[in-house]
Each structure stands twice: as structure tokens, then as C-alpha cells.
Amino acid sequence: MSFFSRFVQHSVKGQKNFERARSAEERGEYAKAKEFFELSVDAYDHYLAQQRDKGKQPFPSHLVMAGVGFVRLGRNEDALTVLDECIRRKEIPDAYLHAGYAAAKLGRKDDAIAYWGAYPAWIEQPVIHEALREVLNSLRQDRSSLDDACLVMAQAIHRQDKDNAKLRKGTPDQHTIPANRGY
């Protein structure tokens, strides 16, 4: 830890480490991604506590990044808490995906269906939309377990991220494809 790092805001540390974790995931470096998610979540834990102590609301983008990190580290109750708050305040697609995943991991089938079913139609993420259709139909008809649904969704998110990365590299205006689906 450098001398100046203590002057960096927790929200900035959380965001930078979240971005590093997502980049490591994209490269397939999952152990490195986990390290960065741990750093991100630690910073967001401090940030969220600070905001509560000051009576302020955290930015929805910080809530979704914290929630995604919580999910990646298996802190599903914490994830649902921050992702629910995010969803109440702003429609960020990844909040719905990861809240559904967290609910499914906690055995809350109806909640998982509700979150995944509310995934915004406006976001152009065809791999995710197709996986959601399949998963929701399977869950509603009791043809699939929640663990199987989580696996399908995790694989779909990974494939969609890879497709998005390819599209970003091939477009002159790299802002046309959302790197993090809205946050």
C-alpha cells in the first residue's frame, strides 16, 4: 500500500478494483479476478458504511458494482441488500441478473424468477435474453434446479461479455456497446 493510497476514496478504490476484476475475468484469470473482487468489496463495505453514517445514499453504479462483487464472493445476502436498493433507484440490467443469481443461490426460486423476469428488454444483450427465456421457462415448469439455472446464467453472462468485448474492439466508436450493461 503506497503512502497516497490512504487518500483515495473508498468508492474509487472499489470501482478501480471492480474494473480490474472484470478485466481479469475477461482474460480468464479467475484467481486474479477473485483477489480484485475481494479488494473491491472491502472498499465498498467501507464506502457503504460511510454513506450510511453520513445519512447519504450511495450512487446506484456503486451499489451494482458492490452487489456483483458480493455475488462473485458468495455473499449473496449482502448482494441482495445492495442490489435491491439499486433496483429501487435505477434500472441497471446487471442488478437484475445478479440479484436473480443471488436469490437462486439462497434457494429463493420465486425471487430469482421475479428478478430475472424483470431484466430490461431495452438492453441489447441477445445471449443473456435467450438464456433468460430458457431458464425462466424451465424454472416455471419445474424442469430445472436453481443451481442449474445459475450455471446457465453464469455461462451466458460470460459469453455475452466475450461478445461485447469483440464488438467494442471492432467499432470505431467504442461507446456504442456498454462495457458493463448500463453502469
Q: Check pLDDT > 70 for residue 153.
A: yes
Topology of the domain covering 7-170: 1.25.40
What pTM, to 2 d.p., does this model score?
0.87
Let me know: does 93 contact 119? Beta carbons within 8 Å: yes
Cα–chain center distance at 182: 11
Cα–chain center distance at 60: 12
The size of the chain, in residues, is 183
Domain ranges (residues) in the chain: 7-170
For residues 182 and 115, give the distance between their C-alpha atoms in angstroms, rounded to a whole number.
17
Range of weakest confidence among 145-154, 156-165, 171-180: 171-180
Tell which residue, 66, 78, 128, has the closest CA to residue 105.
78
Q: Check pLDDT > 70 for residue 176.
A: no
| Averaged pLDDT, 119-141 | 96
Residue 91 in grid coordinates = 434500472
Question: Model confidence over 51-100: pLDDT tens digits?
Answer: 999 999 999 999 999 999 999 999 999 999 999 999 999 999 999 999 99
For residues 61 and 155, give the distance between their C-alpha atoms in angstroms, rounded to a whole number.
23
